[in-house]
Amino acid sequence: MPFEPCGVITLTTDFGLRDPFVATMKGRILARYPRASIVDITHDVPAYWPGEAGFWLSRSWRYFPDGSVHVAVIDPGVGTRRDIIVAAHATHVFMAPDNGLLAPLLDEAATHRIYRLNPQLLQRFSLDAPSATFHGRDIFAPLAAELAAGRCQPEDLGEPTSEYVPGWIEEPHLIGQAVHGVIVTVDHFGNLITNVERSHLSRFTQPVVHAAGRRFALRRTYGDVRAGEYLALLNAFGVIELARAERSAAEGLGLGRGAPVSVTEGLRTSQ
């Protein structure tokens, strides 16, 4: 089934917005495809670490229209021999360095096609002299424009592959009756976002979340407790989140990226 672009291109980078890095990517996209509709997913993930970008991208892409092209550039290996991957999944296309960024998405995507960008094909798109340090602007952006404009298909860009660098964040695992996961990131509100998903909860009748030596009952929304009180909930991106109503849970609990969380059964209180 060919990729049918809708014209939307999303950008996910660690470039920040202070310098003209993201802007020049957009300039090059618009130069090749003036009708592109460009959406910034985030440019503020931790520098050099593809883990968080991959997590958010795997949780966010489904809210974009069918036919979107998603470009993600966290690329400490730019200009070295690292590969670039182009993946098609569920009417969307994804491009990123092959450094583990796309692994969270590809791991859970039952059906996908993956291609390893062939640098020799860049000439065909007049991209044969990229800088050594800014492939976001010189390779990713123009190729995303070509894909979004419908002038090429993912399979035109390289050889199919089934291999890719694995992800940076370990999957939650089961020890005894407890699911053990980790805090992936802290959001703007200080909510602690974990990698424990809805599917991990199916074994529990009344899940209780443990972190920082405390227990958190699972609630429906922030307003279910009073301002200042803690809660856990299955958030709008399908993962467990620890929050504090109208406050920062991260500050209150002193927790951040990488901190362990676990979930146990809360129904049997006798043990």
Q: Does residue 18 interact with a copy of itself by CB under 8 A?
A: yes
CA 265, CA 123: separation in Å to the nearest integer? 58
Q: Does residue 216 interact with a copy of itself by CB under 8 A?
A: no
Which of 90, 214, 215, 223 binds a copy of itself (CB under 8 A)? It is: 223
CA within 13 Å, CB half, 203: 12
Closest C-alpha among 43, 55, 35 to residue 19 = 43
CA 172, CA 192: separation in Å to the nearest integer? 16
Side chain identity, residue 263: V
Q: Does residue 252 interact with a copy of itself by CB under 8 A?
A: no
Q: Does residue 233 interact with a copy of itself by CB under 8 A?
A: yes
* The pair of three-digit structure tokens given for residue 17, joined into one six-digit string: 């917005």
Which of 177, 199, 206, 221 binds a copy of itself (CB under 8 A)? It is: 221
Residues 25-64, interacting with a copy of itself (CB under 8 A): 26-28, 30-31, 34, 37, 39-45, 47-48, 56-57, 59-60, 63-64
- Binding mask of the shown chain, residues 135 to 174, with x at each position contacting a copy of itself by CB under 8 A: --xx------------------------------------
* The pair of three-digit structure tokens given for residue 199, joined into one six-digit string: 């599917």
Which of 228, 236, 260, 267 binds a copy of itself (CB under 8 A)? It is: 236
Side chain identity, residue 79: G
Closest C-alpha among 106, 119, 15 to residue 61 = 106
**Residue tagged 């909510």 (tokens):** 191
Q: Are 172 and 181 in contact (CB under 8 A)?
A: yes
Q: Does residue 90 interact with a copy of itself by CB under 8 A?
A: no
Q: How far is the CB of 241 from a copy of itself (least distance, A)?
A: 8
Give CA separation, 39 vs 30, 35, 61, 112, 130, in Å.
13, 13, 11, 23, 24
Q: How far is the CB of 213 from a copy of itself (least distance, A)?
A: 25
Q: Which is nearer to a copy of itself, 175 or 220 (CB)?
A: 220
Q: Which is nearer to a copy of itself, 52 or 103 (CB)?
A: 52
Q: Does residue 6 interact with a copy of itself by CB under 8 A?
A: yes
Q: Does residue 16 interact with a copy of itself by CB under 8 A?
A: yes
Q: Does residue 133 interact with a copy of itself by CB under 8 A?
A: yes
Q: Are 169 and 182 in contact (CB under 8 A)?
A: yes
Side chain identity, residue 137: R
* The pair of three-digit structure tokens given for residue 4, joined into one six-digit string: 């049918």
Interface contacts to a copy of itself, rule CB under 8 A: 6-8, 10, 14-21, 23-24, 26-28, 30-31, 34, 37, 39-45, 47-48, 56-57, 59-60, 63-66, 68, 76-80, 82, 131-134, 137-138, 185, 187-189, 220-224, 227, 233, 235-236, 245-246
